């Protein structure tokens, strides 16, 4: 449920932003994430940014998964 995808904020004008994914751009609303800045990746659901993605957390998760994969390969 609730399809939401990561897009990159390219520019902001008032409560709306120009956001990009894979060369596709679309206007999105920042009503739910007023703190979003240009350069942030946000999760967009039905045209609204619902969250700013946390790059640090994403990297930590991937590092953890790499550790698991390496341990499994070794073991």
Partner 1 sequence: MKYISEFRRSELAEGLISHIQHSSKTPARFMEFCGGHTVTIFRYGIRQVLPETIEMVSGPGCPICVTANADLDKAIALAQIPGVIIATFGDMLKVPGSRSSLEKAKAEGAEVYTVYSTMDALKAAADNPDKPVVFLGIGFETTAPTVAASILQAGEQGIKNYYVLSLHKLCPPVIRALLDAGEVELQGLVCPGHVSTIIGSHPWEFIANEYGIPCVVSGFEPLDILQCVDMLVGQVEKGQSKVEIAYRRGVRPEGNRQALKLMEQVFEPAPARWRGIGEVADSGLKLRDKYKSFDAEANFTIEPGPVVEPAGCICGEILRGVKTPADCPLFGKTCLPESPVGPCMVSTEGSCSAYYLYGEGLGG
Partner 2 sequence: MEDKILLAHGSGGKLAHDLVEKSFVKTLANPLLDKLDDSAVFELSGRLAFTTDSYVVSPIFFPGGDIGRLAVCGTVNDLAMSGAKPLYLSLAFIIEEGLPLSELEKIVNSVQRAAGEAGVKIVTGDTKVVPRGSADKLFINTAGVGVIPDGVDISGDKAGVGDKVILSGAIGDHGIAVMSQREGISFDTELESDCAPLGGLVADMLNASRNINCLRDPTRGGLATTLNELASQSKVSIRIEEKAIPVREAVLGACEMLGFDPLYVANEGRLVAIVPPEDADKVLKAMKKNKYGKDAVIIGEVAAKPPGRVVMKTVLGAHRIVDMLVGDLLPRIC
Q: Can residue 45 be called a binding residue for partner 1 (CB under 8 A)?
A: yes
CB-nearer residue toward partner 2: 26 or 66: 26
Q: Which x/- pattern, by CB under 8 A, does the window 27-46 give for partner 2?
A: -----------------xxx
What phi, psi does 22 have (nearest 5°)?
Answer: 55, 35
Would you state the structure tokens that stand for residue 12, as one six-digit string?
């902001």
From partner 2, partner 1, none, interface partner of 23 (C-beta below 5 to 8 A by class): partner 2
């Amino acid at each position: 449920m609730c399809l939401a995808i990561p897009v990159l904020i390219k520019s902001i004008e008032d409560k709306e932003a120009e956001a990009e994914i894979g060369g596709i751009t679309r206007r999105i609303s920042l009503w739910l994430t007023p703190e979003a800045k240009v350069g942030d990746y946000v999760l967009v659901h039905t045209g609204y940014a619902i969250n700013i993605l946390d790059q640090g957390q994403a990297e930590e998760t991937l590092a953890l998964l790499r550790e698991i994969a390496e341990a499994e390969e070794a073991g």
